[in-house]
């Protein structure tokens, strides 16, 4: 079989730069080398693209982050030529400039097939306010929420607080609309926490989403496919602290558990899986995505979010759910790349 060249894009400008490198390392180690020739392209925290040689050297030296050399994106000619020599791209850049449609738009411009969601679905998935509005419109249950802008709090913090207290109340969660890995998120229990919560959220975005706090289990599904997506069994996150924050996601000291399958009744798991497909299709996702829920009182299923570039190490929820559903990591990666070609071929119009 002829090997095809896959550009693995990793690093990037968001706060999830290091996480991306961890995901990409395990994807590159697992890709079926009989079918795929791997071309790693690192993106620095400033947005410069490294050549495959520079990237490999940095990875071999144990890099957790790419920080040089300095040439701006449009001057990254050699890296772009390497991309042009590839048959397909696998963007594994989490967060802004990677997961939010910008990188996907660039790959569309370049006419290179790529793994995962397209421009619009990526952009919606990155913006929790847009995503929730879309789910509500599609009749999918979401927590009550309100959207607050930084300037509203700056101009009249009392009015913004009153608005939140009259619409959402406490306890609530305050989040940057554009974020990920739980950065900038605060569990607000009372009025006293609100000032610090605004500051934390507005450090990342000038739009915040405030949501009713849901007490319950956190349940996730993996979805895979273009026009006829399939859904995995449901898994459960059991955080080792108040909520699933940055440290409980990534710290070596975290004792957060992934339970596969989720400890929920079969009919609740079916409801989760059905909603996961509806959310994926409402957003227009393609390729793959992880879909996250809350389950309150063991019965009520509430949508949380869709992640279009979820954590992708071999011990991450996305691939583990497929593994438990009978699809091994290596075959999952091949399937995701095949879906990229399939979508690209369908899009090409004379
Ligand atoms: N409305 C909510 N009720 C209860 N917990 C929440 C709520 N929103 C967020 N959380 C907690 O915060 C975590 C991160 O929030 P999430 O919206 O998933 O943002 P991110 O995109 O950063 O993962 C969730 O996994 C959950 O533990
Ligand atoms: Mg989340």
Output the pTM of the full model: 0.96
Please tell me what DSSP assigns to residue 215.
P
CATH classification code of 4-114: 3.40.50.20
**CA distances, 61 to each of 55, 57, 106, 258 (Å):** 10, 6, 29, 31
Mutate to test the pocket of ligand 1, among 182, 200, 217, 318 (most ligand atoms within 8 A of CB): 182
Report CA-CA distances (Å) from 5 to 8, 265, 288.
10, 44, 20
Q: 182: CA distance to ligand 1 center in Å? A: 7
The pick from 127, 129, 175 for probing ligand 1's pocket by mutation, whose C-beta has the most ligand atoms within 8 angstroms, reads 175
Cα(312) to centroid of ligand 2, in Å?
Answer: 14
- Token pair belonging to 4: 């095809």
In this predicted structure, what is the pLDDT of residue 315? Answer: 84
Number of H helices, E strands in the chain: 13, 13
Query: Same topology for domains 124-141+215-347 and 145-212, yes or no?
Result: no
**14 touches ligand 1 (CB under 6 Å):** no
Q: Nearest bound ligand to CA 239?
A: 1
Give residue 250's pLDDT: 82
* pLDDT for res 69: 62
Low-confidence ranges of the chain (pLDDT < 50): none
CATH domain 145-212 topology: Dna Ligase; domain 1 (3.30.1490)
Using the mean position of ligand 2's atoms as its centre, give its distance from the Cα of residue 163 in Å. 25
Q: Beta strand pairing status for 207-212 and 145-149?
A: antiparallel
User: Positive or negative, the Cα torsion across 263, 265, 268, 269?
Assistant: positive
pLDDT score for 39:
98
What pLDDT was estimated at residue 71? 66
| Confidence at residue 11, expressed as pLDDT on a 0 to 100 scale | 95
Residue 87: helix, strand or coil by DSSP? coil
Distance CA 87, CA 338 (A): 11
Atom of ligand 1 nearest to the CA of 292: 18
Res 202: pLDDT: 97
Of all ligands present, the nearest one to the C-alpha of 180 is: 1
CATH-assigned architecture of domain 124-141+215-347: 2-Layer Sandwich (3.30)
Residue of 132, 143, 185, 294 to mutate, ligand 1, most atoms within 8 A of C-beta = 185
- Kindly state if the Cβ of 176 falls inside 6 Å of ligand 1: no
| CB of 286 shorter than 6 A to ligand 1 | no
Query: Does the Cβ of 96 fall within 6 Å of ligand 1?
Result: no
Q: Which atom of ligand 1 is nearest to the CA of 215?
A: 4
pLDDT score of 253:
83
Domain range annotation of the chain: 4-114, 124-141+215-347, 145-212
Burial of 338 (0-12, 13-18, 19+ CB in 10 A): middle
């Amino acid at each position: 079989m002829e090997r095809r060249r896959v550009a693995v894009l990793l690093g990037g400008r968001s706060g999830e730069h290091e996480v991306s490198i961890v995901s990409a390392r395990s994807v590159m180690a697992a890709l079926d080398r009989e079918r795929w020739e791997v071309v790693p392209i690192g993106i620095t925290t400033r947005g410069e693209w490294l050549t495959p040689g520079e990237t490999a050297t940095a990875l071999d030296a144990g890099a957790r982050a790419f920080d040089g050399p300095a040439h701006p994106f449009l001057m990254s000619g050699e890296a772009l030529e390497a991309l042009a020599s590839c048959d397909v791209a696998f963007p594994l850049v989490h967060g802004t400039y990677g997961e939010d449609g910008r990188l996907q738009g660039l790959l569309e411009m370049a006419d290179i097939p790529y793994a995962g969601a397209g421009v619009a679905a990526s952009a919606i998935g990155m913006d929790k306010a847009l995503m929730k509005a879309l789910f509500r419109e599609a009749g999918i249950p979401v927590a009550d929420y309100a959207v607050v802008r930084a300037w509203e709090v700056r101009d009249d913090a009392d009015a913004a607080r009153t608005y939140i207290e009259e619409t959402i109340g406490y306890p609530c969660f305050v989040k940057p609309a554009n974020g990920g890995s739980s950065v900038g998120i605060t569990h607000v229990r009372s009025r006293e926490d609100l000032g610090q919560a605004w500051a934390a959220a507005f450090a990342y975005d000038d739009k915040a989403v405030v949501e009713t706090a849901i007490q319950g289990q956190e349940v996730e599904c993996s979805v895979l496919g273009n026009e006829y997506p399939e859904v995995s069994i449901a898994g459960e996150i059991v955080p080792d602290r108040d909520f699933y924050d940055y440290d409980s996601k990534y710290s070596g000291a975290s004792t957060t558990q992934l339970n596969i399958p989720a400890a929920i009744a079969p009919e609740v798991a079916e409801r989760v899986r059905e909603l996961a497909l509806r959310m994926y299709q409402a957003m227009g996702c393609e390729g793959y995505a992880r879909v996250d829920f809350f389950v309150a009182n063991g019965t009520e299923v509430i949508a949380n979010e869709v992640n279009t570039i979820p954590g992708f190490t071999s011990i991450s929820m996305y691939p583990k759910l497929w593994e438990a559903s009978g699809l091994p990591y290596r075959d999952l990666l091949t399937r995701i790349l095949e879906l990229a070609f399939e979508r690209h071929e369908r899009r090409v119009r004379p």
